[in-house]
Amino acid sequence: MSDTKIKICGLFRLCDAEYVNCAMPDYAGFVFYPQSRRNISLKLALELRKALHPAIATVGVFVNASYTEIVELCCQNIINVVQLHGSESNEFISGLRCILPENKIWKAYRIRSAKDLEVAKTSAADMVLLDNGHGSGKRFDWSLIMDFCRPFILAGGLTPENIPDAIKQFNPYALDISSGVESDGVKDKTKIYAAVAAARRG
Ligand SMILES: O=C(O)c1ccccc1N[C@@H]1O[C@H](COP(=O)(O)O)[C@@H](O)[C@H]1O
């Protein structure tokens, strides 16, 4: 049994909540980024939150959004965790923490080189998320993070097949998966189930 948590990200249909409830990951993610094909409205996010099992924490993914946009989702209890996926600074993160002391803040870093990891190391966020892009479905070079010295969430190109290897190599706090649990651009119930089962097994 592994203690690595798992997040299924990018729910955008009501049936996605049913699929996720069957598999029971630790987190479910909603994307609030108009340029994403997984972007959802506040209304749909509210419906999805209501449809999800209460034990599943929800994560809102934002890209350079304003405090106002983020706070609205948190105040309506639609999301528990704020995931910042743009170029948000440590100052922005600290300001957000003052406004939302009850919500955890995760900051995603696009890992291309050792320099990117130096920036991630000094992050003001509660948890750093190491990723390849914006839901690209592609892995970055995992050899870069062999000596990364703070707890992290691994994202980018994860699949039910490579999850055991990711846990074995890095024992991350959590794994974050979106494209790898989709078929033909929509969430796939069988893949969601397989990903969560693989994460639990380790
Ligand atoms: O999924 C998106 O469309 C998205 C848009 C903007 C920012 C982040 C987005 N997704 C996040 O990307 C990673 C990895 O996703 P994948 O498994 O490689 O598809 C994950 O953190 C998603 O939350």
- Could you tell me the CATH number of the domain that includes residue 92? 3.20.20.70
Range of the domain at 186: 5-201
- The amino acid that residue 184 corresponds to is D
Q: Provide the angle, in degrees to the nearest 10, between the axes of the packed helices 90-99 and 67-75.
A: 40
Residue 50 has pLDDT above 90, yes or no: yes
The answer to whether residue 98 is catalytic is no
In the beta sheet, which residues pair with residue 83?
Answer: 61, 106
Q: Nearest 5°: CA angle at 133, between 132 and 134?
A: 145
Question: If you compute the radius of gyration of the chain from its CA atoms, what whole number of angstroms results?
Answer: 16
Question: For residue 86, how far is its CA from the centre of ligand 1 (angstroms)?
Answer: 11
Question: For residue 133, how far is its CA from the centre of ligand 1 (angstroms)?
Answer: 7
Strand ranges in the chain using DSSP code E only, listed in sequence order: 5-9, 27-32, 57-62, 81-84, 104-110, 127-131, 152-155, 174-177, 182-183, 186-187
The answer to whether residue 131 is catalytic is yes
pTM, to two decimals: 0.97
Interatomic CA distance for residues 103 and 59, integer angstroms: 10
The catalytically annotated residue of 26, 75, 116, 131 is: 131
Question: For residue 9, how far is its CA from the centre of ligand 1 (angstroms)?
Answer: 7
89-133 pLDDT, tens digit each: 999 999 999 999 999 999 999 999 999 999 999 999 999 999 998
Total Cβ atoms within 10 A of residue 13? 13
Atom from ligand 1 closest to the CA of residue 133: 12
Of 2-11, 112-121, 131-140, 181-190, which range is least confident? 131-140
Q: How far is CA 135 from CA 33, 43, 96, 121, 163, in A?
A: 11, 22, 24, 22, 17
Atom from ligand 1 closest to the CA of residue 86: 7
27, two tokens: 């987190």
Atom from ligand 1 closest to the CA of residue 36: 3
Q: Is the ipTM of this complex over 0.85?
A: yes
**What's the number of domains the chain is made of?**
1
Q: Nearest 5°: CA angle at 166, between 35 and 55?
A: 65
